Amino acid sequence: MGTAEDLIECTRELLWERGYVGTSPQAIQQRAGVGQGSMYHHFTGKPGLALAAINRTAEEMRAAAEAQFTAPGPAVERLTRYLRREREALKGCPIGRLSQDPDVMSDATLRRPVVDTLHWLRTRLADLLAEACERGEPRPGLDPVATAAAIVAVLQGSCVLARADGGGEAFAEAVDGVLALLAAYFPSA
């Protein structure tokens, strides 16, 4: 990787671990093994570098989700694979955690990719569920938009529970719970 890539990757890690305030330019430079001149050669400062890191995280999150959503099979199978895929629940969702960071949320530029990504996820899940409804996969009565919002809320909330408990059991239980609720609509699940 080049210096700019190293800086972005190190900033991503630090934002996930420490949040925006805890991610100082010095910490970024130290982790990336570069000097101040290198950082400011590639980025105008911490906000520009943080934006590049947040955008990269958002892109990767979308790509990983989309790989599950577009895989072959019935919608409930794709959704199950998405919900059960490997995650670092104790660290929390790297985008979801930023939504809890007051410094990110108070900066319109840094906030935008966080809001857009969570909105994309809700919309994409709703589209997947609507596709299933059009194919007659679930029993009648499933509301794709409300169900998608509930799924995102469960995923984000279960990360909070896992962090509070210090273990991944709460995350796994929450995923099991949302899948059990979906099974009431998807008889083949």
- Residues 140-166 have a mean pLDDT of 95
| Closest to 37 measured CA to CA, from 12, 3, 13, 14 | 3
Task: List the domain boundaries for the chain.
Answer: 55-183
- The contacts found for 86-92 with CB under 8 angstroms, 24 or more apart, are 87/159, 87/171, 89/158, 89/159, 89/162, 89/163, 89/168, 89/170, 89/171, 90/162, 90/163, 90/166, 90/167, 90/168, 91/16, 91/17, 91/163, 92/16, 92/159, 92/160, 92/162, 92/163
pLDDT over 90, % of the chain: 81
pTM above 0.85, yes or no: yes
Calculate the average pLDDT of the chain.
93
The class level of CATH for 55-183 reads: mainly alpha
